[in-house]
Structure 1
Amino acid sequence: MHLHQYIFAVFWLTSCGYATVRGGAPERIAGAAQLAAGLFTIILSFALRPTAGAYASMEVGVALTDMALFGIITAVALNSTRFWPIVQASMIGCGMFGHLAKPLGPDILPKAYYATVAIWAYPQIILLVAATWRHRVRLARYGIDYAWVRDLPQRYRNGWSIDELARPLPHN
């Protein structure tokens, strides 16, 4: 492994741990999913390594792991009150296009294929840390941070702002 891979592994483990310990439900799900996806990527990249070398042809195990992570984060995005899962799902989708490009253009250099797929992992961990931090800020400010759309109060759906929800209802 190269130095940048060790540095990434430290940031990746730290961000996933921070999200699973300090985050709300969407952040915990995303942190656990990213941790599992990273571990499966490592395992499958060794188990399904092509004979021509790493990233010389399509990395099927990495692509399958990315597709599973994309599905999980998309499900979180469709059900949560957060905006960041939409951004993260789009980042994962961009990386999946790298997997699609390799069979379409087999003359793509392995390092270019690797960079196209792997570069999106860095902003994803930064996004996860920022999302977890924002969750903590909302908890400190409002005392509550609704994680799922189904949990939002009807008053919010009727147009009340979050600041109005933080105050008690007026007594008439």
Structure 2
Amino acid sequence: MIVALSFWFLMLICCGFAAAFGGRSGRAIALVYTLNVIATWLVTGNAEAWRNPHLAAMLVDTALLIALIWIALRSDRWFPIWFAGLHLVATLSHLASALAPGFAPKIYFLLQSLWSLPMLVILVLGVARDRIRGVRDERSIPPAP
């Protein structure tokens, strides 16, 4: 329970930072990622949901992956690409679980949740880097000195 609460706290802090200080890409990622976390929580409900491949969670993660790829293709920032790439790995863990029937539920859950921390770090670093450089939004890169 403490791990779940810690994740929710960290996710809200990181996505809140991106929503408050990020450009279009940072704000969009913060929104779709937060919605994904809520949707995943609603469709999985409890630990029993991770005993087998979870179709609803896979659909939610696939929808997020499509949204992240769309954001990355329209952005001129690097962090949306990394964010989408890490989420691709997390999404593929659903397929790995389906192809390996004896997959332990804890490993399935770990493969799903493991990638969230680097994703949040990349989001914060990408937004912070833009802020340090004085970039307010995409395509507004200040001229080189």
Aligned to 1:133: 128
Aligned to 1:123: 118
SS of 2:144's partner is helix
Q: Which deviations, in whole Å up to 9, do the C-alpha atoms of 1:105-151 show, x marking residues without a partner?
A: 11010001111111001111111111111121122xxxx4451xxx5
What is the correspondence of 1:12-161 to structure 2 with a 5 Å cutoff?
12-46=11-45, 53-139=48-134, 144-147=135-138, 151=139
**Structure 1: gaps (5+ residues):** 165-172
One-letter code aligned to 1:108: F
Q: Report the TM-score, using the length of structure 2 for normalisation.
A: 0.91
> 1:133, 1:87 → 2: CA distance?
15
One-letter code aligned to 2:88: G
The structure carrying a bigger helix percent of its residues is 2
Question: What percentage of residue pairs aligned between the two structures are identical?
Answer: 25
Partners of 2:19 and 2:26 within 8 A in 1: yes
Partners of 1:70 and 1:93 within 8 A in 2: yes
Q: Cα RMSD (Å) of the superposition?
A: 2.0
> 1:83, 1:8 → 2: CA distance?
24
SS of 1:107's partner is coil
Q: How many residue pairs get matched?
A: 145
Q: Which deviations, in whole Å up to 9, do the C-alpha atoms of 1:38-87 show, x marking residues without a partner?
A: 111111113xx79xx22111112221111111111111111111011111
> 1:72, 1:107 → 2: CA distance?
31
Partners of 1:81 and 1:146 within 8 A in 2: no
One-letter code aligned to 2:56: G
- Greater CA deviation, 106-115 or 53-62? 53-62
One-letter code aligned to 1:163: A
